[in-house]
């Protein structure tokens, strides 16, 4: 069974092919729907059964749904309903959350993939435009999570809300101390951001009296966590894997696969 997997984020869109429990042919597109849809068309031509779709940008959904229809692919959005149908029998993973419909599709996919690949207990953190974390306890129950500003938001806020501070470039090394405005901003953002992450995962461990495994994904994970001393496993394809994993067990996809 082959699926096209699509993850529409605030900054970029990731697409890939899910087959045999693996994600391959991953592309990260920063040029909006046009560039990402071209990648999807190429992947779909290789015999996909459906499009597994997750998004944190609701206004993009209609265009992707139309594209799936044009390509003749069942459109399978990752939702809390799909998660609740598939995850308990597949992974033993359940939600304990007052309003599951408010959980972002990316967070559901991250949790499913983390439990599938690394087991439980696990805290999975996504380092994107926003920083998110979700805790799954030993009994494989999704207990809730954390949402905080991501590194790009911290940088942009300084630039947008002050008169003289420049827009700091992302990436690069952190200085020992700031000896220019740019370096001072880089030190504050980089060290402060890692301190936020350290405090969040430490507090979750204390609150649940659990030694969680730490898993990270998202475009800024590798840079932020380098030499941090925090024992994260960085998994770049985690979200796409979760989308493919959940969608591949949906009734619509299984029915489609039987007819091919």
User: What total number of domains does the chain contain?
Assistant: 2
CATH of the domain at 41: 3.30.420.40
Is 143 among the domain residues?
Answer: yes
Provide φ and ψ at 231, rounded to 5°. Answer: -80, 60
pTM listed for this prediction: 0.90
Tell me: do 219 and 248 sit in the same domain.
no
Cα 7 to Cα 109: distance, rounded to the nearest angstrom:
10
Is 90 among the domain residues?
Answer: no
Residue-wise pLDDT tens digits, 130-187: 899 999 999 999 999 999 988 777 777 777 778 778 787 766 777 788 788 888 888 8
Tell me: do 234 and 110 sit in the same domain.
yes
Residue-wise pLDDT tens digits, 84-111: 999 999 999 999 999 999 999 999 999 9
Is 106 considered catalytic here?
A: yes
Reduced to 3 states (helix: H, G, I; strand: E, B; else coil), residue 140 is: coil
From the list 61, 96, 106, 110, the catalytic residue is 106
Tell me: do 121 and 140 sit in the same domain.
yes
Residue-wise pLDDT tens digits, 19-49: 988 999 999 998 889 889 999 999 998 788 8
Which residue range is the domain that position 152 belongs to?
105-238
Burial 205-231 (b: 16+ CB within 10 A, else e): beeeebebbbbbbbbbbeebbeeeeee
Tell me: do 187 and 170 sit in the same domain.
yes
């Amino acid at each position: 069974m082959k699926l096209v997997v699509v993850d529409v984020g605030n900054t970029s869109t990731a697409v890939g092919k899910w087959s045999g429990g693996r994600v391959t042919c991953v592309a990260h597109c920063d040029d909006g729907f046009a560039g990402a849809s071209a990648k999807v068309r190429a992947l779909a031509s290789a015999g996909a059964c459906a499009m597994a779709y997750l998004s944190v940008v609701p206004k993009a959904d209609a265009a992707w749904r139309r594209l799936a229809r044009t390509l003749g692919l069942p459109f399978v959005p990752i939702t809390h309903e799909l998660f609740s149908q598939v995850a308990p029998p597949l992974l033993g993973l359940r939600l304990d959350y007052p309003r599951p419909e408010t959980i972002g599709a990316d967070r559901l996919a991250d949790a499913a993939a983390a439990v599938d690949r690394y087991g439980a207990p696990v805290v999975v953190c996504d380092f994107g435009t926003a920083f998110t974390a979700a805790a799954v306890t030993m009994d494989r129950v999704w207990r809730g999570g954390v949402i905080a500003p991501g590194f790009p938001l911290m940088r942009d806020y300084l630039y947008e809300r002050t008169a003289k501070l420049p827009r700091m470039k992302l990436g690069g090394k952190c200085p020992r101390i700031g000896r220019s405005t740019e370096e001072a901003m880089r030190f504050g953002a980089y060290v402060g951001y890692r301190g936020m992450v350290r405090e969040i995962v430490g507090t979750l461990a204390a609150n649940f009296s659990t030694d969680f495994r730490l898993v990270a994904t998202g475009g800024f994970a590798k840079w932020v966590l380098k030499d941090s001393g925090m024992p994260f496993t960085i998994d770049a394809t985690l979200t796409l894997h979760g989308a493919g994993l959940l969608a591949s067990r949906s009734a619509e996809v299984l029915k489609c696969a039987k007819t091919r």
